[in-house]
Structure formats: structure tokens, C-alpha cells
A and B are shown apart, each in its own frame.
Chain A
Amino acid sequence: AAGVIQSPRHLIKEKRETATLKCYPIPRHDTVYWYQQGPGQDPQFLISFYEKMQSDKGSIPDRFSAQQFSDYHSELNMSSLELGDSALYFCASSFFLGQGLDNEQYFGPGTRLTVT
């Protein structure tokens, strides 16, 4: 079965540079989520999109922005990178059944961002 695809898998950037992470959800999934996981930390929710509109916003820095395109893929844009941005960035997707229903999320393999 098709899974969530993320690219690139690994990315090395220098401080103050810009990075773009891409996520391709499972076909027919209408909701995309972005999470950041630092070393030894649990995944922290950043932002989500439903039907190409921003849905929920978590602890996403102002230096980051994201969008979902007409083909449902999503991109996370990160500017003015800092050392503390080094982490695993996961994208997840789901088919939103409704509030209070079983909206299990399917995670991609992640993009490991290293800022030097």
C-alpha cells in the first residue's frame, strides 16, 4: 500500500539559510500534518492542513511557513535557520472522518535536518 512520502530524507544547511521540505500524502487523504521531533523528544505538532486550507497551528515558529497545494502535497518552508532547528521533521496524513471520530494518522519516514 502507498505510504506518505517525504523528501529529501536528509538535509544539511548552514545557519541563516532556507530549507524546503516536501510531503506527499497517501492518495485520497485530505489532511496533512507536520511534526518536529528533536533528539530524545516526542513529536511536537507544528501545523495541519485540511482540503488545502490551514486547519490547526501548533508550536510553529514565525520563521516557518507551510502550505498544501491543489494535488494535496504540502511543503514546509523554513527560513533563517538556527542550530536549534536541527531535528527530524515528520509529515503525516489522514482522511478526516469528522470531529470526535477515528482520525488515525499515518506518518512518513521523516526528513532529518541538520543545521551547522
Chain B
Amino acid sequence: SQKIEQNSEALNIQEGKTATLTCNYTNYSPAYLQWYRQDPGRGPVFLLLIRENEKEKRKERLKVTFDTTLKQSLFHITASQPADSATYLCALDGPSGSARQLTFGSGTQLTVLP
């Protein structure tokens, strides 16, 4: 069955460093992959979407890569700040290829230390 894995449940880094989060998937060929940020008790907030034919996408301090051969996406936050501390979720479109549902990974809790 389809499976999405995100690296380490928790990641601690020093302010100013680059945080790199990993999302791996198996038994699946998504049309696109999305990254969301979630703060405790709040709904996920959309950050970036990368399509299967795109290698890299950037938005301000965020960068996402997508390697469909490795079945992996990397999410980078450069010049990290304590305000970046949150849980980051990767998500794929539905197992049936439907765009009308998302399957989320278990998330990586990022803590940026001042």
C-alpha cells in the first residue's frame, strides 16, 4: 500500500542554519507533492507545491526539490528563525490519483533554537 515517511519525528537546529526535511514515499506516483506547516492546535497552512516534472521550486527562504526516481522530496528552510518552529507535513494527492484528497506524512517537528 501507499506509504509516506518523513525523517525523524523531531529536528532541532540553531538559528541561522538551514533546516532540511525529508519526505519519502513508496508504491505511489504522485502528480505533485505539497508541503504544509502546522502549529499546535491549528490547521495546516499551505507552503509550496511541486509538480512531478519540476526538479526544484523556491519561495523566499523555502526551497523544495522533487526526485521522482528516488521517490523523495527535500524541504529546505534557509536562515532559519525561531518563528519557523512548527510541524512540517508533506502531502501527496490521493492514492487513486484523485486530486480531491491529500495523504499526509506523519510530519517533522522542527525547533529552531535561538
Contacts and interface: CB of A to CB of B under 8 A. Distances in A.
Question: Chain A interface residue count: which class?
Answer: 20 to 34
B27 interface: no
Interface string A71-115: 000000000000000001010100010111111111111101000
Given A42-B105, A42-B106, A56-B94, A100 B99 contact: yes
A45 B99 CA distance: 12
A55 interface: yes
Nearest to B45: A107
A45 B101 contact: yes
Contacts, number: 73
A33 B105 CA distance: 17
A102 B57 CA distance: 13
A99 B99 contact: yes
Interface in B27-52: 31-32, 34, 36, 41-46, 49, 51
Nearest to A58: B101
Nearest to B9: A40
Nearest to A42: B104
B97 interface: yes
B43 A101 contact: no
Given A33-B101, A42-B89, A109 B96 contact: no
A92 B42 CA distance: 12
Contact of B104 (A43, A48, A101): A43
B103 interface: yes
11 contacts: A33-B100, A55-B98, A56-B94, A58-B94, A88-B41, A99-B99, A100-B31, A100-B99, A105-B46, A109-B42, A109-B43
Interface of A: 4, 31, 33, 35, 41-45, 48, 50, 55-56, 58, 88, 90, 92, 96, 98-110, 112
